[in-house]
């Protein structure tokens, strides 16, 4: 119930302006967001890389309905990739980037798919030039087919482009089979949007079981699985699947979000696993922040406690 309410609020312009405008909220969001500028993103990435972890950076923003904004997002990714290169973080994919097609123009009323694809192609070109990769974030289920189509197009020229699949969608086990091919980078997460039962598992236990089935398909396949979860059970199962399918450390990776279970991130990296941290930065943090609150009652409590303490 709370999860659904928070996810619905994440789409509300009215709540957005109240939450985004409150000075207290800004201090609270810094737990989940690395800062607002390109330099903030690069600086946070540098700290993480120097602690033995890897990074994927997200310039916050989504559902863009303004072509100028979509171009500005593309330009920011180009600036970011230059910044990562200058800091020596891009080479070998130690820091890569994650992009949302809806931030690059996918939702524009006329020709959105083509505009987003062209922008994504420019980001991929810039990433390739500095020796790193791009992963396409996955948004709500109405965009899954378009995002996978864009992935196919981009992979013709940039085979290292990564996909995200969401275990809560009923279709995902089959998508995993399609994408578990040589060289294919697939990030498996549980899924963060408010989806109807017609397309998604709604019980936590069903989502977890689907995650395990999907992880098995990916780990048994020929691709490069990226297990994105903070769930200790899923992390253990991921490790067990790697052993079962004879995968060496480095032939798959774990991923977690910035600010969530940092000690566990460092522990996994110290044990020899590839551990990548998803680092969001930028001013358009509202949707991302609300999805983090929705994920975990403790996150919401942290937010409410901060308000109460301030009061
Ligand atoms: P879940 O939220 O079910 O939590 C399971 C357990 O994990 C908890 O019971 C607890 O033990 C532990 N845990 C979780 N949060 C914790 C915390 N804050 N502190 C301590 N323990 C905690 N989604 C999407 O739809 N599209 C996308 O493109 C992406 N991209 C993405 C990238 C990366 C790198 C990650 C890690 C996640 C995403 N997601 C995403 C978000 C994802 O779908 C999902 O919403 C969150 O990862 C939460 O799901 P978990 O698997 O962590 O488990």
- Is 75 inside any structural domain? yes
Which tokens in the block code for residue 91? 């080479």
Tell me if 168 CB under 6 Å of ligand 1: no
How far apart, in whole angstroms, are the C-alpha atoms of residue 279 and residue 41? 7
Across residues 244-253, what is the average pLDDT?
98
pLDDT of the residue at 286: 84
pLDDT of the residue at 308: 63
Ligand 1 centroid to residue 206 C-alpha, Å = 15
What is the SS3 assignment for 179? helix
Greater pLDDT, 293 or 253: 253
pLDDT of the residue at 232: 98
How far apart, in whole angstroms, are the C-alpha atoms of residue 202 and residue 195? 8
pLDDT of the residue at 15: 78
With b meaning 16 or more CB within 10 Å and e meaning fewer, what string describes 202-214?
eeeeebbebbeeb
Tell me if 189 CB under 6 Å of ligand 1: yes
pLDDT of the residue at 298: 76
- Is 5 inside any structural domain? no
Tell me if 230 CB under 6 Å of ligand 1: yes
Number of domains forming the structure of the chain: 1
- Is 91 inside any structural domain? yes
Q: Are 218 and 242 in contact (CB under 8 A)?
A: no
Beta strands, E only, 100-236: 134-136, 163-166, 185-189, 224-228
* Protein residue with least CA distance to atom 50, ligand 1: 229
Residue 39's nearest CA partner among 279, 266, 285 is: 279
Which tokens in the block code for residue 86? 């200058």
Is pLDDT of 307 > 70? no
Q: Model's pTM, two decimal places?
A: 0.94
* Protein residue with least CA distance to atom 45, ligand 1: 192
Tell me if 207 CB under 6 Å of ligand 1: no
Is pLDDT of 128 > 60? yes
How far apart, in whole angstroms, are the C-alpha atoms of residue 163 and residue 135? 6
How far apart, in whole angstroms, are the C-alpha atoms of residue 272 and residue 269? 5
Is pLDDT of 311 > 60? no
Tell me if 138 CB under 6 Å of ligand 1: yes
Choosing from 187, 216, 274, 292, which is the catalytic residue?
187
Query: Which range marks the domain in which residue 87 is found?
Result: 34-284
- Is 15 inside any structural domain? no
* Protein residue with least CA distance to atom 22, ligand 1: 230
Instruction: Read off the pLDDT of residues 8-18 as tens digits, 9 standing for 90 and up.
Output: 888 888 777 77
The question of whether 284 is a catalytic residue gets the answer no
- Is 296 inside any structural domain? no
Ligand 1 centroid to residue 229 C-alpha, Å = 5
- Is 8 inside any structural domain? no
Choosing from 137, 146, 175, 194, which is the catalytic residue?
137
How far apart, in whole angstroms, are the C-alpha atoms of residue 128 and residue 126? 5
What is the SS3 assignment for 259? coil
Residue 239's nearest CA partner among 276, 279, 272 is: 272
The question of whether 85 is a catalytic residue gets the answer no
- CATH classification at residue 255: 3.20.20.220
Could you give the percent of the chain with pLDDT greater than 90? 79
Across residues 58-83, what is the average pLDDT?
96
Instruction: Read off the pLDDT of residues 180-239 as tens digits, 9 standing for 90 and up.
Output: 999 999 999 999 999 999 999 999 999 999 999 999 999 999 999 999 999 999 999 999
């Amino acid at each position: 119930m709370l999860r659904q309410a928070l996810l619905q609020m994440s789409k509300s312009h009215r709540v957005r302006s109240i939450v985004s405008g409150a000075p207290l909220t800004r201090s609270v969001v810094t737990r989940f967001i690395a800062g607002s500028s390109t330099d903030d993103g690069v600086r946070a990435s540098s700290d993480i890389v120097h602690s033995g972890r890897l990074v994927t950076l997200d310039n916050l923003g989504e559902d863009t309905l303004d072509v100028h904004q979509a171009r500005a997002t593309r330009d920011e990714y180009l600036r970011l990739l230059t910044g990562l290169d200058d800091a020596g973080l891009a080479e070998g994919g130690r820091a890569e980037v994650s992009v949302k097609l809806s931030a690059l123009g996918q939702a524009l009323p006329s020709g959105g798919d083509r505009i987003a694809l062209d922008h994504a192609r420019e980001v991929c070109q810039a990433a390739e030039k500095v020796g790193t990769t791009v992963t396409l974030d996955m948004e709500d289920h109405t965009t899954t087919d378009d995002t996978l189509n864009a992935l196919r197009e981009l992979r013709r020229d940039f085979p290292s482009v990564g996909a995200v699949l969401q275990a809560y969608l009923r279709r995902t086990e089959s998508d995993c089979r399609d994408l578990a091919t040589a060289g294919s980078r697939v990030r498996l997460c549980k899924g963060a949007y408010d989806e109807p039962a017609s397309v998604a598992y709604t019980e936590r236990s069903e989502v977890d079981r689907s995650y395990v089935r999907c992880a098995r398909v990916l780990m048994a396949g020929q691709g490069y699985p990226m297990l994105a979860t903070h769930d200790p059970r899923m992390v253990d199962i991921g490790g067990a699947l790697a052993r079962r399918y004879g995968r060496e450390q480095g032939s798959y990776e774990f991923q977690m979000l910035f600010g969530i279970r940092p000690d566990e991130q460092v522990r996994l990296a110290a044990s020899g696993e590839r551990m990548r941290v998803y680092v969001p930065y930028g001013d358009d943090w509202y949707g991302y922040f609300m999805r983090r609150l929705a994920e975990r009652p403790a996150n919401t409590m942290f937010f409410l406690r901060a308000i109460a303490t301030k009061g």
